[in-house]
Chain A
Amino acid sequence: MMDYSLAQFYQDVSNGAFQVMVVDLDLNGQRIAALQRELQGRPNDGHLMDDKALEEAVESQDFRFNGRGWTRFNIMITSFLQFCRDVDPWSLWRSCDLIFKFYQDLGNCLLNDSYPIDPLVPLFTELTNYVVNLATILDANSVKLNTRPHQFLSHTSAVISKVFNSVKPPRTSEDDVSNGNAVGLPEKQRILLYLVNKLNNLYFRIKSPQLCSNIFKNFKPKAMTSSFAQYPIREQIEYRYLLGRYYLLNHRVTNAFVQLNTAFSQLMLIAMTAGPDSQPQIRRNLSRILRYLVPAGLMLGKSPRIAYLSEIDPSLSEKYASLLHHMRNGNIRALNAWLAHHENSLRRDHLLLILLEKLPMICYRNLIRTVVQTCTIPQNTGKIPYAQIEAAFKLSIGELTPEKIDIHTAIHRPDNVENVLVTLINLGLLRGNCFPMLRLCVVKKTQAIREILPSIQERILATFPLNSEDSWLDD
């Protein structure tokens, strides 16, 4: 390798040994150093090959593919050689343009399916991982470099996006390989979910998750297999995780829950069968899912098993144990105090405002359940006076604060009884009728509390159906 030369490089390229174009100096540094020496004309007093000379040299190699010349391929090879010639291993900043150009040119090769692009795909995925790391470092230094926030990660996503968009949807149902003939799958199809996940991750990172919408929408139409299960399980889980988070950002709790819960279950299964080497990463991934799954479940009126949770993520379990407690008891003031106490972490996870909005009705439902259980059912009148509920609200909501308005103290008031009842009834969480003039809520005369306050999840699922476009994920 120390004697690597341009001539050998051209030979390797001819033979399709594209791994010689790995950009990572740690892995491929000696080759690149050798090429740099030759391209700069060292040490034999040769001339530095300028851009024009490089282009001509590559052209003259006359690389052919099924008898055809491939212009974009030549451009990409030239870019690689420019990188080799000019790279400064001690300065990311001076070298990054060279790397990005090569990356972009490699991406452009993958756009046209009429060429034999499959052998280039592994190089592309490897380079993608490298470029994302590089872009991360550069963007972290954006103030010093005077670049726009997320400039390099955005650019990276643009390259990947072009490749994703170039994936053609299957033309006929014969193209569907869900019968298990994954062997015949073109490379771009094989990495389709990898591209999807990479893009969605980047969009989250550059704080533009709404861009994921297009990717989610176009994934299934482009996939040559109608069976999601054909993709690597790791990628499937990550997909659901990202989809679940995306739903949460759009306040669609039921859909978020279902995806996150499936991701969690599947990853748990893997954890049980995986070796000790992967346990720490799996465990951290489980925590990542739980961070969003647990609050999603709570918003649907579900209760996590704290003991089970504490085995996987003790600090998360401790955090949510007290919230669960207050939710079950219908304690609005304690719910708000919990949100205030955890405001910073909830804000960072984009959970604060959705919880602020969607936990209270579950809490009120539980509070009213206590009223019904303690008074209404024993008295068997089927009547709940507003005054009774107001007394419960006074205790639950706590002291009225002076009218300084903040999110933890300005939304709930004890005199809001009728409105709360109206909302609960409309959500299907309470079966009853209001009589505003009589200041009374009338329910069925029954000893079975379920007939007055049905199961929360059943009601929510009935009212907010799942997105049918996701059903193929479970087929």
Chain B
Amino acid sequence: PAAAAAPPLPSDVRPPHVLSQTLDYIVDNLLVTLPSSEGFLWDRMRSIRQDFTYQNYSGPEAVYCNERIVRIHLLIIHVMGRSKVDFSLQQELEQLHKALITLAEIYDEVRAIGGTCPNEAEFRAYALLSKIRDPEYDKNIQELPQEIFQNELVQMAICFRRIVSSSNFNERGYIKTENCLNFYKRFFQLLGSGTVPFLMSSFMELYVNEVRFYAFKALSHSLNKRHKAINPDHLIDDLLFNDYKELENFCEYYSITLTSDGVDVKSLPYQSHKLAERQPLKHAILKCVDKMLDHTSYSALIKADPENTTISNHIAITHTDK
């Protein structure tokens, strides 16, 4: 329950079918009002999730709503990222993460009594990306059934986890592990290839600055002491900066010397992507990811179920006798 508010009266809590309808309304009519409506949507979605919690309900409508809410958060993260409207990324991520945890619990419960949820793989994939360096998720995914493990989205997420792993990663409380790949070039190659679906790409945008930082860090260790500046195009290409300006911003933030000669990679003074004395860099938006929005609408993105199930199919496929 919300920290500030007391729990609602039973009569105020909306029944599951009403919650689904409310969310459907949001998807069909309100997403188009983004980015300005972000705060409102955040609040409405949180209240929907909370109503399920208050009545301790984890049936098909709860799955349906939490799944769509996750997708909406992923959409919002990209849309807000490219807009100039102020918003709290941390709050969006918090709700996203809570919804993913709720879904994981329900999926486990359903499996324990022999049922299945058709979209489970997609959301297990997002969970893998939510804590991309936490080995706990590698353990969990290996325990799930073959159909889930071999699902293309799950495989993609696992690839990203390996690619983003870095033995140089530096953050308080994080223990470095051996032989990590730090394949920054492959990371951007995949995102730019068009084969990673939009919502997953939006999630990965959250890691772009981090990956870029550790690329710079690693590169700086591999250059000769007296190495001259590097042609900016080399970095713009490999690290998929949208333009020179974006590279400029990045270098300014991390105190990397950028002159008419190029980028002096070795001038990077920091060990960690997290700077104590500054606000975090605004999360990056990739042009190639943004372009994916040209071919679809917000509501279509949210409604795209791999198996095109409607909610009545949910009821048939999953269980309800609890």
Contact = CB atoms under 8 A, between A and B. Distances in A.
Contacts of A7: none
Given A426-B218, A433-B222, A463-B167, A356 B162 contact: yes
B177 A143 contact: no
B222 A437 contact: no
Given A353-B158, A405-B190, A437 B165 contact: no
A272 interface: no
B175 interface: yes
A258 to B, nearest CB: 13
Contact of B230 (A249, A357, A410, A437): A437
A375 B124 CA distance: 46
Contact of A416 (B162, B183, B224): B183
B303 interface: no
A354 B137 CA distance: 12
Interface residues of B, number: 50
Interface in A449-469: 460, 463-464
Interface stretch (A16-24, A77-85, A218-226, A358-366): A358-366
B11 interface: no
A177 B199 CA distance: 60
B162 A347 contact: no
B177 A252 contact: yes
Contacts of A354: 138
A209 B165 CA distance: 22
A4 B126 CA distance: 64
Nearest to B151: A406
Contacts of A357: 161-162, 165, 179-181
A350 B163 contact: no
A426 B139 contact: no
Contacts of B139: 209, 249, 350
A169 to B, nearest CB: 25
Contact of A353 (B112, B142, B189): B142
A157 B303 CA distance: 44
B44 interface: no
B179 A299 contact: yes
Given A357-B162, A404-B152, A416-B186, A411 B222 contact: no
Nearest to A424: B222
A253 B177 contact: yes
A423 interface: yes
Contacts of A362: 179
Interface string B89-125: 0000000000000000000000011100000000000
Contacts of B161: 353, 357
A131 B143 CA distance: 26
B84 interface: no
Given A357-B162, A464-B178, A405 B155 contact: yes
A405 B195 contact: yes
Nearest to B163: A411
A149 interface: yes
Contacts of A252: 175, 177-178
Given A411-B183, A426-B218, A426-B222, A250 B178 contact: no
A413 to B, nearest CB: 6
A407 interface: yes
A248 to B, nearest CB: 9
Interface in A361-414: 361-362, 403-407, 410-413
Q: Interface size for chain A: under 10, 10 to 19, 20 to 34, or 35 or more residues?
A: 35 or more
B251 to A, nearest CB: 16
B152 A143 contact: no
A352 B195 CA distance: 24
A435 B224 contact: yes
A265 interface: no
Interface string A128-150: 00000000000000110000110
Nearest to A251: B177
B168 interface: yes
Interface in B208-223: 218-219, 221-223
Given A423-B182, A433-B222, A347 B195 contact: no
B227 interface: yes
Contacts of B222: 421-422, 425-426, 432-434
Nearest to B187: A419
Interface in B270-302: none
B158 A254 contact: no
Interface of A: 142-143, 148-149, 207, 209-210, 249-254, 299-300, 347-348, 350, 352-354, 356-362, 403-407, 410-413, 416, 418-419, 421-423, 425-427, 432-437, 442, 460, 463-464
Given A360-B181, A416-B185, 10 more contacts: A249-B135, A252-B178, A357-B162, A357-B179, A358-B177, A361-B180, A404-B152, A411-B159, A412-B186, A464-B176
9 contacts: A356-B162, A362-B179, A407-B162, A419-B182, A419-B185, A422-B218, A426-B182, A427-B167, A427-B179
